[in-house]
Structure 1
Amino acid sequence: MSTSVVSRGLRPIRTLLGLLLRRPVLGTSIVPLLPDGRIVLIRRRDTNRWALPGGIVDWGEDLATAAARELTEETGLSLTSVGRLIGVYSNAERDPRFHSICVALSAQVMGELQTYDQDEVIGVQAFAVDELPIEQLDHDHTQQLKDYLADKTVLA
């Protein structure tokens, strides 16, 4: 069999892999609101910076389920109700690891702060709005939190 025949036979496989693997990853971030109005942030192990809880949507999950799962894994809190859509953030540079699209939501939460996923999270803390380390957040979470506080819904 000639090299060109093999090459043509592999072309559909390469095309399919390109379609599957060269796509943005879908994730979610959550602005978790405790009953007393404080906002919960996590401290990421990889960057040692504060961030909103969140992560990648697993196969077969909807956004609300992914948000609830990530919230519990990273903070120990339970999502009691989804608030509002803050925005969809799709800039290819928003996450230095890979191109990801993040759907940011606010949510009412309850429970005790606890870190279950210690491979990713080294701390969890609740902040009053005027005490948030807003300029020290990882990825584009500063913008997400500013959009939340300004009561915006954005497509960025």
Structure 2
Amino acid sequence: MSRKDYFNDDAAPKANSVVPSVTAVVRNTDGLLLLIHKTDNDLWALPGGGHDIGESIAETVAREVMEETGISVSVDGISGLYTDPRHVMAYDDGEVRQQFSICFRAHPVGGSIRTSDESKEVRWVSPTDLDELDIHPSMRLRIAHGLDLSRTAPYIG
């Protein structure tokens, strides 16, 4: 299913759903960041996805990162809560979802990189190389907050 992101766009369609979701800022011991090249919008992003009934939010993070990247992670904490009603995602099935995402910091504990139906490429990226990748502004914000270890409280916005 394809998707188009609207961010602070007056021409955006009105949201008709909200789905709690997660993203994860995963860094390895070399300081590299785990990113996926998404199949639905052709952009680079943090791994993540929707929260399922019957799992804790930390289990959602671990499941989504594993599903999309092949990497097992342990959650370290929350770096931000993103609920901006001016960020919506329009899917080709008619769903227009308002953003509701909790971004976590996590570290790898096993696994090996692989792609999935949602990720056509998975890569460990140096934070200094992020400008070379096509990343949505809302995802760049999450990445910046997740990489800023001087932040003692999560971003809420």
**Aligned 8 A contact 1:95 1:139 in 2:** no
Matching residue of 1:122: 120
Does the alignment pair 1:107 with 2:103? no
Where does residue 66 of structure 2 map in the other structure? 72
Q: Is the 8 A contact 1:28 1:57 kept in 2?
A: yes
- Structure 2 gaps, min length 5: 1-15, 91-96
| 1:65–1:34 Cα change, 3 Å | same
Provide the C-alpha distance between the structure 1 equivalents of 2:58 and 2:142, rounded to a whole number of angstroms: 18
When normalised by structure 2's length, the TM-score is 0.76
Aligned match for 2:147, one of 142, 146, 149: 149
31-40 or 144-153, which deviates more: 144-153
- Number of residue pairs matched by the alignment: 132
Q: TM-score, normalization: structure 1?
A: 0.77
Structure 1: state its 5+ residue gaps.
1-21
Q: Deviations for 1:99-141, whole angstroms, at most 9, x for unmatched residues? A: 13100001001331111x32x2111011112112487313611
Partner of 1:44 in structure 2?
38
Indicate the residue corresponding to 2:136 in structure 1. Answer: 138
**Using the alignment, how far apart are the partners of 1:93 and 1:108 within structure 2?**
31
Which structure has the highest strand share of the two?
2
Asked if 1 retains the 8 angstrom alpha-carbon contact of 2:62 and 2:75, the reply is no
RMSD, aligned α-carbons: 1.8
SS in structure 2 of the partner of residue 37 of structure 1: coil
Contact residue 28 and residue 105 of structure 1 kept, 8 A:
yes
Instruction: Give a deviation string over 1:65-120, Cα, whole Å, max 9, x none.
Output: 000000000000001x21221110001233423113100001001331111x32x2
- By percentage of residues, which structure has more helix? 1
What is the aligned partner in structure 2 of residue 83 from structure 1? 76
- Are the structure 2 counterparts of residues 70 and 139 from structure 1 closer, same or farther at C-alpha, using a change threshold of 3 Å? farther
Is residue 35–residue 45 contact of structure 2 (8 Å, CA) maintained in 1?
yes
Which of the pair has more CA radius of gyration?
A: 1
Give the ranges of 4+ consecutive aligned residues of structure 1 lying more than 3 Å apart after TM superposition: none
The amino acid of 2:129's aligned partner reads E
1:62 aligns with 2:62: no
Instruction: Provide the identity percentage.
Output: 27
